[in-house]
Structure 1
Amino acid sequence: MDASLKELSKLEKLTAESSGKIKTASISDSLDALLATLQSAKANIDSIIEDSGNTLAQVVEARKKDIDDRQKEIYSATAKLGKAIDKKFPANLPSYPDLFESDDSIAALERTIALHFLRTGQFDTAHTFLEESNADIPPELRTQFIELHRILKSLRNQDIGPALLWTRRHRAFLQARGSPLEFYLHRSQYIRLLLSSHLSNPLPAISYANAELRPFFHDHQVEFQRLLNCVIYLPLSRLQSSPYADLASPSMHLELEPLFAKEYSASLGMSRQVPLRVVGDIGGGGALAKIEKCRRVLRERKNEWSQRDELPIEISLPPENRYHSIFTCPVSKEQSTEHNPPMMISCGHVIAKDSLQKLAKSSGRVKCPYCPTESLSSAAIHVHF
């Protein structure tokens, strides 16, 4: 958008009122000057006629030339702005028939919009929208979203108390998901206690670690040891230049809010991302225009859309919007699936599960195509991309 904004800025300067910063007069100023010249000529018509070197036609022609020059500049700037916009948005947005005609589709759309306002914390807007629409959102769901944003605000203010209360109530749910949320909350509090203490008295932080972090020792053994070992590098000035410098970084606490929002949304059966925002970001970011262009090309070539429920073109997506594996097995050249996931063998190379089984021998070893020696296939682990 930089090119479009640059051309728009030029057009605004050309059409702006004249000032000390603008070297040439605007069209409005040129017209005013022409009008003033004509009025002056009318009042002094006799003197103008007698002066053969300064006729009325010459005066009008000079002013008209100024106006024509300004118009040419504006037309040129407008054309460049249009070209810049066309270059940024090369295809028109698709036009489809109205998809929200039935009562069910209208209700689904209104519910999606209402949930968007609630999930993004726009509670006043959500209240007004619910009053003016037919969307039906249970009161308890509204209360839950209010609680979510209240806890997120507390985390932003370095208060983990409300978040810990929620994690304790939902500990079974978090453990079933293998979520580290509760551990990360205690870790954040421990680090704050440690950095706020003096070198001579780290005991409050260590006591907190023994009371709250030790129950997570089995699942986070390496991290637990790092948290206690970093005490020997206090105070903060030494810690920041030690192997544990990452523990003193403010970014250590930044992941609490998105992680809590993710787990809270999962407890409600919802995705971490707001659907309406995802649709707007992906579609408005160029996907709709590309798909429409592809449809037009296929229609002109009389080709059919893919029958495998996939797009015939690539749509660039940010990492957070990639919802499936993008691993392609280097042996079979097939993309991994849920039934054929990527597997890492003991040598460190990754191949698809089907390829692993084909290469595996009865001894439980596999001849990796990239290693001179055999590796254990029984030690292969599932890799998530």
Structure 2
Amino acid sequence: MDAALKELAKLEKLTSSKGKSQTIDDSLESLLQSLHEIKEQVQAGDVHEETFQQLSQTIENKKKEVDDRQKEIHASVTRLGKTLDKKFPSSLPAYNNLFASPDSHASLERTIALHFLRTGQFEIAECFLEESEIVIPPTLKAQFVDLYQILKALKNQEIQPALAWTKQNRQFLQSRSSPLEFYLHRSQYIRLLLASHPPDPRPALIYAREMLRPFYPEHETEFKRLISCVAYLPLRRLQQSPYADLTSTALHFDLEPLFAKEYCASLGMSRQVPLRVVGDIGGGGALARIEKGRKVMRERKSEWSQTDELPIEIPLPPENRYHSIFACPVSKEQSSESNPPMMLYCGHVITKDSLQKMGKTGNHTSSKVKCPYCPTESVLSSVVRVYF
């Protein structure tokens, strides 16, 4: 918005009497005053030929001033409009009512209600539920309230509520190989380590022996670093040591999004709020880009596909890039456990079946395969499986 505000300031300066040069109103007022003066001279009978010549010259000068200022204002308005067009997407076309049926309308209202609950807006959620008559199970409401109480405690550097939840859901976390419980204990260990002045590592080491030691098999390297960093106390020396990353505040504040992610996963929900993702991607420019591309291709009569597809790339932030399904660009088949995606040395990815077919020459199997997109040859033994 900086460019738009700058152009708006220029336009305001051109139309304001505070500027150095005269505005259109100033020029017209000056011309009107000159006409009144000539009128008074005519009524008094004190009129000469030079008076009308001066009046004609004054009118021409004022007309030129007004024309020049109008050109400047018009140019400024045009620049402001172009700046706003670049900043804000074009208006979307009108669509038919997508939520006309009772089921789709109820689904939309349920999505909105869950959005308020997931974002911690519980009073708004209650009001919306009363007015929409959507029924949300009380247990689900209680779970979201519990989530935000735990997140509030984590923000205040209280990890006990979060640890109580991880103990109840330890089997679920282990099935996901989640480091949440270990990171919670690590945060508490660092706080104990840096809490005393002068440094006294004994409370922290006792805590590590009781709480962190069970995680040694899965986090051996990190466990050793946590114990070894004691040799570099106090804090000032630790910040200049190879263990300086353990003094970062991110080590504590990153627990909130990680806990929210695991909590929502335990409820069978995505880590991101669906309504927010839809608004950020669609309302953030994707729909406008798609509509603009469709309009351009319609005008040029160059439809790209008969399946209502458009060759448009939508830039997305890293957190909104999903790869749950991979379709092989060679065979056009979706990957599976028996036919996983494989990455060639050049970086291109195809499915295993396509890779094996490309490696066969007649009745023999070659040790190398040529990428269909570049002249690079890859040794089959160096091809890497890709996990999405």
Hey, what does 1:234 align to over in structure 2? Answer: 233
Distance 2:217 2:45 in 1: 102
Report the 3-state secondary structure (helix = DSSP H, G, I; strand = E; otherwise coil) of the residue aligned with 2:143.
Answer: helix
**Partner AA of 1:301 in structure 2:** S
**Partner AA of 1:7 in structure 2:** E
Query: Please, what TM-score do these two structures have when normalized by structure 1?
Result: 0.78
Residue 175 to residue 367, structure 1, CA distance change in 2 (3 Å): same
**Partner AA of 1:337 in structure 2:** S
Query: Please, what TM-score do these two structures have when normalized by structure 2?
Result: 0.78
Hey, what does 1:363 align to over in structure 2? Answer: none
Distance 1:188 1:259 in 2: 13
Hey, what does 1:24 align to over in structure 2? Answer: 21
**Partner AA of 1:71 in structure 2:** Q
Hey, what does 1:85 align to over in structure 2? Answer: 84
- The alpha carbon displacement at 1:69 in A equals 3.9
C-alpha contact (below 8 Å) 2:304/2:310 kept by paired residues: no
Distance 1:27 1:129 in 2: 53
**Partner AA of 1:293 in structure 2:** K
Distance 1:105 1:289 in 2: 24
Hey, what does 1:337 align to over in structure 2? Answer: 335
Hey, what does 2:373 align to over in structure 1? Answer: none
Residue 231 to residue 356, structure 1, CA distance change in 2 (3 Å): farther
- The alpha carbon displacement at 1:126 in A equals 2.7
Hey, what does 1:147 align to over in structure 2? Answer: 146
**Partner AA of 1:154 in structure 2:** A
| Residues 91-133 of structure 1: per-residue CA shift (max 9 Å, x gap) | 5523321212222222222222222222222333333333333
How do 1:162-181 residues align onto structure 2 when only pairs under 5 Å count? 162-181=161-180
**RMSD of the alignment, in Å?**
4.0
How do 1:198-347 residues align onto structure 2 when only pairs under 5 Å count? 198=197, 200-299=199-298, 300-306=301-307, 312-324=311-323, 337-339=335-337, 340-342=339-341
Hey, what does 1:8 align to over in structure 2? Answer: 8
- The alpha carbon displacement at 1:212 in A equals 1.1
- The alpha carbon displacement at 1:208 in A equals 1.0
Give 5+ residue unaligned stretches, structure 1. 361-365
C-alpha contact (below 8 Å) 1:118/1:145 kept by paired residues: yes
Distance 1:102 1:48 in 2: 84
Residue 302 to residue 321, structure 1, CA distance change in 2 (3 Å): closer
C-alpha contact (below 8 Å) 1:326/1:335 kept by paired residues: no
Distance 2:87 2:306 in 1: 26
Hey, what does 2:135 align to over in structure 1? Answer: 136
Residue 201 to residue 70, structure 1, CA distance change in 2 (3 Å): same
| Percent of matched pairs sharing the same residue | 60
Report the 3-state secondary structure (helix = DSSP H, G, I; strand = E; otherwise coil) of the residue aligned with 1:100.
Answer: coil
Residue 383 to residue 187, structure 1, CA distance change in 2 (3 Å): farther
- The alpha carbon displacement at 1:82 in A equals 2.0
Distance 2:26 2:110 in 1: 53
